[in-house]
Structure 1
């Protein structure tokens, strides 16, 4: 557990501080710079990894630090340009306002809420692994994507290749064909190996919730602060934001479902999208924020492109509902500031755009259809609006306390006249429902938005839950402030009576000081109640986060096989033929031994890969297959059924369109050129014998 805690602390610091220093150097106030720190950090990672790949530099802790120093220098130049005559004309200093800036009180309130929310998330996600899962923090998630994430962390650390444009070199050992993958989250995590001393699986298991423990409360708090500022002052809005940040840890979709289903990069990018969106909205009142806002949007987009859609929807609805009707410097000037931010963002995310276009055909997943024939439109709308999608629909829906506070929160948004926030909630609730049941004429346009989330209900529910948690935080925080207001009025009334009856020598505590203590005490009690609710919610939320950890596909027998293979003197210098459908690519992140297929899929299969994969039972009997084995330096074969998908199991039957298991014949009849050298349970390792690699003549 201590290692997990250390990874959480280091992850938070590495995620927040680099971007915060750059943001502060660009003239952002410290509270804003700290909030914008994570998305700006991811933007720096995205830019630096692509540039380093082009010039041939390795991505590691030292080169990342050098890049950060250059980024801070560039931010300083930007700041100096803003103070030139040209800079003051393009981005004039905002007029002085009577509105107080974010001070110590507001900062402490937000930090307390964010800290509590992050602590709840980290403990709920990590403790079950350490205490109950096989292999503890080295436990293997059984979900498809987790293998890719763990392998990417190790591969970037070992090779120094962090560019999202070169991930095909990991996906296919033989062809190393092009594959784009938004890997800023992985590239940042790869820097933690020397700082934490964790192995790749330990790092993956703790780093995943650690980052979400920062980004989820931060994203929810940013939204809640924006909502509250429609009526409340800075300090009151900070209390509401802190409440929302802490409350976010109680929502099962934030982030426990995403940790279970291992869609962490998507969750990280989407949870930071509100931070970027709020920063973009602020450029109309302070045009010096155009570049940091563009960096923030670029950072969340590079983490996962779906985040750009969330930013676009929130900012677009804000402009239509509020910005267009209440311009700051005039509609055209406000629109010009937003357009400049968009143009700079497009330049910064050029690798994302180009990479996404190049892999558009190979990454289509048409068989991912989550619509259910058994539910009606009303049921779909209810589930989409209130966290009732897969995998929560059976055991964790309806969650009435969260539904009630969400509904009250939506009413509070209407009271605040935050129509853009209310509209964003409704839009994503409809998109989520449309991913489960067709909504008729609305299905096509809603499906376009949902397509960036693979029309996956759980990914879309994550967006709805962020908006719901922020609205709920507004409702609860506003209720506390209302109660405090009543207490303050009673104190003022009592003080007035005391003054009327007191002698000139008597003294009394000032009302403002007493009221301040009442607010502080009320907030502490509120956070304590949220902490108590987290204790109550711990069993179900911990069960959600750790559900796919039982060894269904990769279990203790597989780990024993990997350890045995890694102990062989020649294993580090040869290739291991594995069945990618079985997930035996976990051999790589666990041990560093190189499998032919490090993931459940491979882009652009080579002809010899295909021949060897389907001809594994002919090793030693077919000279052509044997030559491929020698050419590729394959010395071991590992087999560990079952395969992940049903269509990958059983006898191959191409005539009926059934893929089947190419290793089934090996399992049943063996192969002349393979000798079994290890077996534990269903995990079997074969060594390629002398029929394929004849011993040298004496």
Structure 2
């Protein structure tokens, strides 16, 4: 594939991702009665809700998942939402509204969203080699193989995408809304899975900017503060970029960002009491569950302080609003019962994780206040606006309650960073895998509002000084905020693009898990491996990627060996005893293994070659058919198992 072809596919995949993420959500959101900023802010979450709800349902009905199924499901749900609103007409009780912005305010907000979306996408592109490099970390082949499997088979069930690794046990439960949407993009464009995944990641800043803007608009925050807030959010390394080399944790990141859209819908339901918005809230809960269940936990903790603020201000509405939210919760549970059943079963089997302690208490607090998380130096030009915003905190008025969620996650971050040996800490943080860096991202995200507010307050102070000069009085506002924006851009050296891109690039590129030569070897499998044949491979080298890259089914389709079945485990430990062990030959016949692939790269530098692949010279009927410096492919030619 030429460089021009690669970038053409990147553009095509990017456009297709925009269409498949926002398109269904805009149609469904319009059907529920959403308009304006709330519609654009919540559209991605509603789009994922359509996929997450209807993918398993259509598979159960015998309808394969694909772009047409996705579109048809969207239209059905949009019509049902519209009919529900028609039947309920006259019972809605509009009680509140968002800020009434002037035309200039909307232009400022649009400019902020556009700059943040483009800047964030460019940072991600820089970190991923123009969105073409392969992610090298733990979660990547699982997501990539799952996307390819759904696209190839149309199986949108909760367990289907796990069939590449857990085929012996009938798959494994996993939330698949992200993968269902990506599978439609893959089918439409034919772009490599890596480009499909990276192009979807490049839209994270746009999702974040719109979700933040929609929520802040509801709380009557100034348009300038909204714009500065989204610029701060896409400049912070921990909010988006740190999660993209770890894994990448794209489903978690999408769910975390779109939890803000859920909070927006919840506040709208309580303010307006419209049945259409209530239906959108129920679907949003389903969307978060099927993207990544931790996203719903995040949304609830972001929402709780906001509810507390509402009820302290007007206590008499507490019980009625609790009833509204409880009704929406029950409806969400009923719709999601099959998913919740699988989730509970999966959660009961998952062990708790305890990470190493990193910082003492004081250093954990200091890291939050100075934006110093991953580098030797703090992101000081985000920290200074944060300090100014904290000094002028009271001017945020009702929007101050949004920061309650930041306080909750900051406490969890500090606990896991400083006291992670505690059983209580592990239990409290389990929905987020007890992971300090995920909790850090969730704490820093709402803090962006305080830093954005600090920039606005700085601009306001400068404008007040300029108005004292008669010649500058009329242009004071424009001059002041142009100066603040340009100063922020220059001092952060382009929204800290080099720091943020470097954080992503740490696990993207030519190795260590999959080198360019190993990628070429896996592409070669496409021409030799027939359907239903499997390729023996090492679980911890990069060959787990082979299905996503070539369609060839590996014995080990992911780095995890938990509950993969007896035959794959036996081969991983004893394949090189093939000539002497009848059990090994039986497992090879059972799995229909015809080829073997070994690579040099491993997912972790502590990994070593699987025990069963250390003495391949013992296997007489292994014949090399492809070799380069980093990978070798063998054909197994033994009449005793039918070759």
Tell me how far apart the structure 2 counterparts of residues 491 and 446 of structure 1 sit (CA, whole Å).
59
> Deviation digits for residues 478-526 of structure 1, max 9, x if unmatched?
43345456667877998xxxxxxxxxxxxxxxxxxx67xx656765665
Q: Shift of the alpha carbon at 1:576? A: 0.6
Give 1:183 shift.
1.7
CA distance in 2, matches of 1:225, 1:445: 37
Separation in 2, partners of 1:180, 1:222: 33
Match of 1:274 in 2: 260
Asked whether 1:51 is paired with 2:57, we answer: yes
- Distance (whole Å) between structure 2 residues aligned to residue 370 and residue 219 of structure 1: 33
> Which residue of the other structure, out of 677, 688, 692, is the alignment partner of 2:636?
688
The alpha-carbon distance between structure 1 residues 408 and 165, as it changes in their structure 2 partners (threshold 3 A), is: farther
Q: Quickly say closer, same or farther: Cα 1:528–1:602, change in 2 above 3 A.
A: same
Higher deviation after alignment, 340-349 or 71-80: 340-349
- Give the superposition deviation at 1:34: 1.4
Contact 2:42 2:262 in 1 (8 A): yes
Asked whether the equivalents of residues 220 and 248 of structure 1 are also in contact (C-alpha less than 8 Å), the reply is no
CA contact (8 A) 1:43 1:300 kept: yes
Pairs within 5 Å for 1:268-347: 268-288=254-274, 289-320=277-308, 322-327=309-314, 330-347=317-334
Find the counterpart in structure 1 of residue 367 from structure 2. Answer: 383
> 1:575: Cα distance to partner?
1.1
C-alpha spacing 1:566/1:661, structure 2 compared with 1 (3 Å): same
Aligned to 1:662: 612
Q: Measure the CA separation in 2 of the matches of 1:588 and 1:692.
A: 27
Partner residue in 2 for 1:465: 444
1:354 is displaced (CA, Å) by 1.7
Q: Contact 1:125/1:256 (CA < 8 Å) preserved in 2? A: yes
Conserved 8 A contact 1:224-1:473: no
Q: 8 Å contact 1:114–1:218 — kept in the other structure? A: yes
Aligned residue pairs total: 631
CA distance change for structure 1 residues 531 and 632 in 2, over 3 Å: closer, same or farther?
Answer: same
Shift of 1:176: 2.0
| 1:375-524 equivalences in 2 (<5 Å) | 375-384=359-368, 386-389=370-373, 392=374, 395-417=375-397, 418-438=399-419, 447-484=426-463, 519=477
Hey, what's the Cα distance between the residues in 2 that align with 1:448 and 1:385?
26
Q: 2:4: which partner in 1? A: none
CA–CA separation in structure 2 for the residues paired with 1:104 and 1:329: 36
Cα distance, 1:449–1:527 mapped onto 2, change above 3 Å: farther
Distance 1:81 1:119 in 2: 42
Flag the 1:354–1:225 CA change in 2: closer, same or farther, 3 A.
same
Give how far 1:81 is off: 2.2
Give matches, 1:233-252, under 5 Å: 237-252=222-237
Residue 206 of structure 2 aligns with which residue? Answer: 214
Task: Establish whether residue 554 from structure 1 lines up as the match of residue 514 from structure 2.
Answer: yes
Instruction: Note the C-alpha offset of 1:620.
Output: 3.2
Residue 176 to residue 647, structure 1, CA distance change in 2 (3 Å): farther
Q: CA deviation at 1:444?
A: 5.9
Partner of 1:610: 569
Structure 2 residue runs of 5 or longer lacking an equivalent are 1-6
TM (norm. structure 1) is 0.83
- Supply the distance in 1 between the matched residues of 2:122 and 2:440 (Cα, whole angstroms): 23
CA distance in 2, matches of 1:151, 1:534: 38
Following TM superposition, by how much is the alpha carbon of 1:187 offset from its aligned partner in structure 2, in angstroms? 1.0
Per the alignment, in what secondary structure is the counterpart of residue 292 of structure 1? helix
Secondary structure at the residue paired with 2:234?
Answer: helix
Aligned-partner Cα distance in 2 for 1:604–1:40 = 34
Unaligned runs of 5+ in 1: 132-136, 495-513, 651-659
Cα distance, 1:66 vs. partner?
0.7
1:94 paired residue number: 95
Q: Deviations over 1:569-624 (max 9, x none)?
A: x4445211111222311111111111122111255332222222222102233333
Residue in structure 1 matched with residue 115 of structure 2 by the alignment: 116
**Cα gap change, 1:526/1:311 in structure 2, threshold over 3 Å: closer, same or farther?**
same
Q: TM-score, normalised by structure 2?
A: 0.90
- Verify: 1:174 aligned to 2:168, yes or no: yes
Q: Is the 8 A contact 1:620 1:692 kept in 2?
A: no
Residues of 1 paired with 2:633 and 2:26: CA distance?
49
Cα root mean square deviation, aligned:
2.9
Structure-2 separation of matches of 1:628 and 1:611:
8
Do the aligned partners of residues 162 and 411 (structure 1) sit closer, same or farther apart at CA in structure 2, a change above 3 Å counting?
A: farther
Counterpart in the other structure of 2:539:
580
Q: Deviations over 1:357-379 (max 9, x none)?
A: 1112433253x41313xx42211
Alignment of 1:566 with 2:545, yes or no, is no
Quote the offset at 1:268 in angstroms.
0.7
Residue 558 of structure 2 corresponds to 599
Structure 1 residue corresponding to 2:147, chosen from 149, 153, 176: 153
- Pick which of 554-563 and 11-20 moved more: 11-20
Separation in structure 2 between the aligned mates of residue 5 and residue 526 of structure 1, nearest angstrom = 33
1:58–1:404 distance in 2 versus 1, CA, 3 Å: same
- What CA deviation, in whole Å up to 9, does each residue of 1:642-693 have, x standing for no partner? 543566526xxxxxxxxx6331122xx3412322333322422221013545
Corresponding position of 1:674 = 622
Distance 1:6 1:43, change over 3 A: same
Distance 1:644 1:130, change over 3 A: closer
SS in structure 1 at match of 2:178: helix
Asked if 1:18 is matched to 2:24, the reply is: yes
In the aligned structure 2, how far is the partner of 1:246 from the partner of 1:582? 39
* SS of corresponding position for 1:676: strand
Deviation at 1:286, TM superposition (A): 0.7
Within 2, Cα distance between the matches of 1:610 and 1:250? 45
Deviation at 1:166, TM superposition (A): 3.3
